[in-house]
Structure 1
Amino acid sequence: MKKLVIATRVSDLALWQAYHIKARVEASYPEITVELNKIVSNGDKVLDKPLALIGGKGHFTKELEDEMLAGNAHIAVHSLKDVPTYIPDGLELVAVTKRQDQSDVFLSHKYESLEDLPQGAVVGTTSLRRRMQLLQQRPDLKVKDLRGNVNTRLRKLSEGQYDAIILAYIGLHRLDLLKDIPHTQKLSLDMMIPPMGQAALGIEIVQGNDKVREIAESLKDEKTFICTQIERDFISKIGAGCSAPVACNAVVNGDKIIFRTMIGFPNGTNIMQEKIVKDFDKSDGLGFEMAKLMIDNGALELLKRAEETAFKDEMPQRL
């Protein structure tokens, strides 16, 4: 094999991720030329509607998958949190890279921390998960939708459209954008439980090429793969779409895995939380175990009601 083609979105962060993987592959396989196939996804085009109303996170991955299935790319590099639990026939999620800092971060030009926000302050986020957890802690806040790429969101903050916004720390860190924000506060994982797959890259391949599989597997971090598979199993089993606020996070602590989950209403009410701690070597099936526990406690009905209330004031347009 002389050339490997990587499918990637064209956002600054997606390109950073793709070039990072390109460099790793070239270092390990100097005989292979690596090229990028840059694609504008539908999720990058429609920026005036909440993500859940245009079909969800799959709109960040579908066009890349279509390019692979058409024979125009061997692998795709995704933010794992954007990868649906369903993978199309002919493709496979083979590897997950070592997970980095999973925290969300509070950003403001006016206030030093989340605790310093006055009553009624306007906070921007595109995430129902963040909305749920923010309003659980601060029901007095006004949460306003926030779309666009990272630079667009930061510009809206600097223009005063929001008193503060909440974003994933890792993307800002990778693009070296934190230095330009007067006030930043990294939120603990206890304060803001991440989504499935946060801060890891998913490597999806076209099935049937042993060399491509070998290259992809060389990028794999085993512990991260196990933790994120637990998260993906949980999401798959409870059937949580992007119209439902869901947080789930598995972390390795010594010889244990700690798995925390939360679902509820976008307004921060009707919260259901669980935590399971297991020996790392006995964690097979933990995602399904957690899903059963929450389903037995009424999670499916709660999710149905949450989805019905998520965008009751907006007309869904699933493209």
Structure 2
Amino acid sequence: MRKIKIGSRASELALVQAEMIMKMLKEKFPQYDYEIIKIKTLGDKILDKTLSKIGGKGLFVKEIQTALLEESVDLAVHSMKDMPAESPEGLMLAAITEREDPRDVLVTKSGKALEELSTNASIGTSSLRRKAQLLNLRKDLVLKDIRGNVATRLNKIDTEGLDAVTLAAAGLKRLGYDDSNFYYLDIEAFTPAVGQGALGCEIRRNDQMLYDMFQEINHKETYNCVMGERVFLKLLEGGCHIPIGAYAQKVGEELWMTGMVASPDGSEVIRHKEKGNFEDFLKIGTKLAEEMVKLGAKRLLASCENERGEIL
């Protein structure tokens, strides 16, 4: 009997997410054995520097993808917002499961709204995307770089005297946190990271058995939305890492997508929306990127040449 080895980061959230995928597979395919293999990524090892200084998104997936290519694991479970715009040669995204809440959350001791925080309030985040959008909404904010797992970052409200931290709603919900002190940032004014809230299952391209299995747990609506967002990311990001986000959703029989590019200091934010037939998700992502370029995204891309991309 084949044992299917699932590669995952070793953090609490990553393991919860890997277990979610394993449970889905077990329910559909109980005839196989499953095992989660913990893999420590470079992003997990380097905790004394902001990831924007040492490489961005790929630092959370590279070691897992290497293990997949070397066949020490059979599949990798990723938070889609950690994924670079393309998979390495020989690998593919076989499935994306149903999206959890895509919003960002401001966590304070009392659940204050962003506008209720005191002047010069300090907020912890290492995400260029979050920093830019926070500063665009409140220029007075003092932003502090924080690293670590979800619990560590939440604890920094006390240990570092922060007024708030920002995190992804999806991770907090999957870990079962009480949301009484959460303020959900409006998705119209605070664009999520590409793929935020969704889990991706990456396999080797030549593994037909696993590919067929994953078609049973792939969530078509989420897949179309996230893959549209990823086309937008691929076309705009290139070799330059900047504050960038996108969010697509199904509305009736259409797919509506918003793109966002910002200057690192939040002084300029460009947003644009495109919509079209739900099955034309790749075309919509492409058109959105083209329209954003017309609106000045290239200029912001050039100004961010030395910046590094989206961080957890």
What is the correspondence of 1:125-274 to structure 2 with a 5 Å cutoff?
125-178=125-178, 183-240=181-238, 243-274=241-272
The answer to whether the 8 A contact 2:193-2:245 is kept is yes
The match for 1:291 is 289
Give the residue type in structure 1 aligned to 2:106. Answer: F
Residue 306 of structure 1 deviates from its aligned partner by 2.7
Q: Which amino acid aligns with 2:284?
A: L
1:192 positional shift: 1.4
Listed as ranges, the gaps of 5+ residues in structure 1 are 312-319
Partner deviation per Cα, 1:192-250 (whole Å, 9 max, x = no partner)? 11010000001100121221111222221111111111110011011256731011111
**Which amino acid letter does the alignment assign opposite residue 236 of structure 1?**
K
String of CA shifts for 1:110-161, please: whole Å, max 9, x gaps: 5622111111110111111111111111111111112111111011112243
* Pairwise CA RMSD: 1.8
Does residue 36 of the first structure (1) align with residue 39 of the second (2)?
A: no
Deviation at 1:21, TM superposition (A): 0.8
Which has the higher mean CA deviation after the structures are superposed, 115-124 or 154-163? Answer: 154-163
> Given residue 287 of structure 1, which amino acid in structure 2 is its aligned partner?
G
Q: Percent identity between the aligned chains?
A: 37
Q: Is the 8 A contact 1:113 1:183 kept in 2?
A: no
Q: Could you list the per-position Cα deviations for residues 60-102 of structure 1 after superposition, in whole angstroms to 9, with x for gaps in the alignment?
A: 1111111111111110000011111121111111111111111
Q: Which amino acid aligns with 1:248?
A: A
Q: How far apart, CA to CA, are the structure 1 residues paired with 2:57 and 2:19?
A: 22
Contact in 2 for aligned 1:111/1:117 (Cα 8 Å): no
Report the alpha carbon displacement of residue 280 of structure 1 after superposing the two structures with TM. 2.1
Of 75-84 and 276-285, more deviation after overlay is shown by 276-285
**Per-residue deviation, residues 165-207 of structure 1 (Å, max 9, x unmatched):** 111011111111235xx62211221131101000000110012
Q: TM-score, normalised by structure 1?
A: 0.92
Q: Distance in 2 between matches of 1:282 and 1:185?
A: 34
Cα pair 2:80 2:196 within 8 Å, conserved = yes
Structure 2 distance, partners of 1:209, 1:111, is 47
Residue identity matched to 1:146: I
Are the equivalent residues in 2 in contact too, given 1:240–1:246 (CA < 8 A)? no
2:165 alignment partner, SS class: strand
Name the CA shift for 1:42/1:136 in 2 (closer, same or farther; >3 Å): same
Determine the structure 1 residue equivalent to 2:50. Answer: 50
Which residue number in structure 1 is paired with residue 71 of structure 2?
A: 71
Q: Deviations over 1:16-44 (max 9, x none)?
A: 01111111111111110001111111111
Instruction: State the alpha-carbon separation in 1 of the partners of residues 146 and 62 from structure 2.
Output: 22
Count of residues in correspondence between the two structures: 309
List, as ranges, runs of 4+ consecutive aligned residues in structure 1 with deviation greater than 3 Å.
240-243, 281-284, 307-311
> TM-score, normalised to structure 2's length?
0.94
Aligned to 1:60: 60
Query: Is contact 1:97-1:225 (8 Å) kept?
Result: yes
